[in-house]
Amino acid sequence: MHIYWFQDSKIGHLNQVQALLGEMAKEIDFSITKISCQDRKILNWLQPYSTPEYIEESEDELTLLIGAGHSTYPCILKTQKLFKQSKSIISVAILKPSFNSNAFDLICAPEHDYPGRIKARNIHTFKGSLALISSVEPIKNKAMIAIGGSSKHYLFDDDLVEKQIKYILTTHPEHHFQIYNSRRTPENLNKKILSMSNAFANFSFIDSRTTVASSFQDALHSSEIKFVTPDSSNLVFEALSSRGKTYLMQIEGFRRFKIFTSKKIRKVMTSLVNSEQVGTISVSTLAEGLKVHKIQHPSVHAEPLAEVKKTAYAVLKLLNERR
């Protein structure tokens, strides 16, 4: 089987498709052609494959067209239209397309994008986002803090996050933390974290702009405890797809929370908290102005999520039906 992987430039989209293809590779053999949809010149690369001779030769070859992100979906559908004479072309959209949903053979998207009980037959839903499953046993006393920044779902109070980091480092002196920032992390917060080295010896700060940041996945899989900010759904579900305890940090004051409109990602995070799949760290202010930190732990029975395995099964089932 051959796979045409249509790509945009968003790391979160690429990581989800990569995780899915990695899971599928455990069951079947395939080759991959990666196609960038950035320049939107999709017809250029299609020209060599548009001759009647090529289409006739490849008619019996099972071919999967797959991609995540709005810029990839038109490319997938244009390619599917070109090969419409062949019954062996299968189109799969990862995440929810905003148009022509019925044109795809399968759409794999988060549950919060399809909240109703009745779904079209070509819809498969999963919790949160797709992430690589890790069975690596956590290393004792190894820990991490992963920090995002402002997003369309959350405001970001860097003073509040700074106080929580200090609280975490103070209450876990036996752990050594790797603190990772992201491209959205305020520069002011980066400087504050670096200055904490004068008071705390149990952490290392790893800037996303350095080569050392490539250690992120290893830290995520091997850390005993993981404190992450909830602004990135991908980050949270990557943490939950590996062993170790995951905690959500508070990044907004309660007053801001009431002002800022609730959205789908917030509901997902609330669901994780209510089901005790994640723990939380929060800050409240008493009448006297005293700041009080509170940690709520996740369930001791929480297991790594396997959403990518379920989604791979849905894709493989469709492929087997078309063989």
* Of 249 and 288, the one with more pLDDT: 249
Q: How high is the pLDDT of residue 259?
A: 37
Catalogue all structural domains in the chain, each as residue range(s) with its CATH number: 2-130+307-322 (3.40.50.1820), 139-296 (3.40.50)
Residue range 170-193: mean pLDDT, rounded = 95
Q: Find the mean pLDDT for residues 23-33.
A: 95
Q: What is the pLDDT of residue 46?
A: 64
What is the average per-residue pLDDT within 26-47?
78
- Give the C-alpha separation, 117 to 275, whole Å: 20
pLDDT surpasses 50 at 61: yes
d(CA 161, CA 156): 8
Query: What are the tens digits of pLDDT across the range 105-154?
Result: 999 999 989 887 778 999 999 999 999 999 899 999 999 999 998 887 78
Is a pLDDT exceeding 90 seen at residue 308? Answer: yes
Place of tokens 């999967």: 64
Distances (CA, A) of 108 to 50, 128, 131, 241, 304: 28, 11, 13, 18, 20
- The whole-model pTM stands at 0.85
State residue 211's pLDDT score. 92
> Above 80 in pLDDT, residue 53?
no
305 compared with 263, residue with greater pLDDT: 305
Taking the C-alpha atoms of residue 36 and residue 34, their distance in angstroms, rounded to an integer, is 7
User: Does the pLDDT of residue 285 top 80, yes or no?
Assistant: no
For residue 228, what pLDDT is reported? Answer: 96
User: What is the structure's pLDDT at 254?
Assistant: 56
Contact 148, 184 (CB under 8 A): yes
Condensed to tens digits (0 to 9), the pLDDT of residues 219-277 reads: 999 999 999 999 888 999 999 999 999 999 998 875 444 433 447 788 889 889 999 99
Q: List Cα–Cα distances, 282 to 132, 166, 176, 265, 285, in angstroms.
A: 28, 13, 21, 18, 10
pLDDT given at position 263: 73
| Length of the chain in terms of residues written | 323
At 312 the three-state DSSP class reads helix
- 228 neighbors 239 (Cβ within 8 angstroms): yes
Mean predicted confidence (pLDDT) in 90-100: 95
Mean pLDDT, the chain, integer: 87
